[in-house]
Amino acid sequence: MTIVFQICAVIAIVFAGVFLFRGGGARHQALRRVFMFLFILAAASSVFFPQAWTWVANLFGIGRGADLLLYLLVLIFIGFVANTYRRFRQLETSLTTVARELALLKNQYSDNETSSTS
């Protein structure tokens, strides 16, 4: 494996790490859709033109196209894990906020109940 692919792989891993700590929003969703579209194109091309993947792999100094696809799959999986982790943390934070607000509302309601019955 040549240094070119190794550098590209490290850049992709760093990108996934930055993506993990970055906020969400419409831009984030648009990027996810673009990457999903590119992934679908790559998957379709691997079915119809497998020799093209071997040619690209040889450009990076990788022996077979299947090996290149495996490396790319690992990088995509790291991005998926980073994205899932970030979304899970956001959901966890939202759930904690809702639970706290509910507890405060219940406490306020029970205080109103006891003061009106006395």
pLDDT at position 105: 92
Number of domains comprising the chain: 1
pLDDT at position 101: 95
What are the residues whose beta carbons fall under 8 Å from the beta carbon of 38, sequence distance 6 or more?
A: none
Domain, as residue range, for 100: 3-117
pLDDT at 102 over 90: yes
Residue of 79, 75, 76 whose CA lies nearest to 17: 79
pTM, two decimals, is 0.62
